[in-house]
Copies of this chain bind each other. A is one copy, B any other.
């Protein structure tokens, strides 16, 4: 039975609330564990503490590149083993998939520009925008997460507001598909057919497809917004590709990473050239 979780604000603790130590923080329920940076499990993660425990963390204020838990020596902060996609790390991915907001607490040991001078401070709600694995500065595999500050709860995005009482405070962004002009070119080039399964979703006003950037745009991947970095996918295979449930191997074969089975050859028969280094990057970003 998973622990019942509270996602979102804890009543009585607005943004800016401070705590002298972890005991006080835990008592407030803003971040319940006395140790550990992530409060989460298989159903989702509700809060994290950003306090400089991991050398790979990067804090930009409204955006945080956060390192998952496990494998580090708490005294030296050195990574001494691989991290796994379990417990809190798994929880942060679930929060990404379900769109749960994550409470962010900063500790005095974190980035100087964004952290409190002493103790801990609740800094508001963030959403998990991305997750991937990489080999960290100490040579072991770590899981990383990009968290992006949510709009202030005082001013939700227009169409949440429009949803009235049902949507106003409780709706969360589960999935946000962005597109660019280049992405639309990729869709047209593939005639809106999924490059994994060949499906072309037909709607009353024409076909629908999504463009997946193979190597993500933005920090820290900085993938290019070019045709060679884009796949045209149906929404189902887009989810599977973004979560690493499927990858494309060196031979252009789409593989199910859970079962290990071949799904088929990536469809590239329409003159849509893919840069294979991006597919390698994607495979590595989802290596467990």
Interface residues of A (CB under 8 A from B): 42, 62-63, 85, 90, 93-94, 97-99, 129, 146, 148-149, 151, 157-160, 162-164, 166-167, 170-181, 184, 199, 201-206, 208, 210, 217-219, 222, 224-225, 234-236, 238-240, 243-245, 257-258, 286, 288
With A166-B180, A180-B171, A202-B258 given, is the CB distance from A239 to B243 under 8 Å? Answer: no
A205 contacts which chain B residues (CB < 8 A)?
Answer: 42, 85, 90, 93-94, 97, 243
Q: What is the interface of chain A mostly: helix, strand, loop, or mixed?
A: mixed
A174 → chain B closest CB, angstroms: 4
- B167 in contact with A225 (CB, 8 Å): yes
- B210 in contact with A175 (CB, 8 Å): yes
A166 to B181, CA, bound (A): 10
A-B residue pairs, 10 tightest by C-beta: A235-B235, A166-B225, A175-B177, A203-B243, A163-B218, A174-B179, A163-B217, A93-B205, A162-B218, A174-B177
Residue from B63, B158, B184, B236 in contact with A235 in the complex, judged by beta carbons closer than 8 Å = B236
A98 contacts which chain B residues (CB < 8 A)?
Answer: 179, 184
A279 to B288, CA, bound (A): 42
- B164 in contact with A201 (CB, 8 Å): no
A62 to B239, CA, bound (A): 31
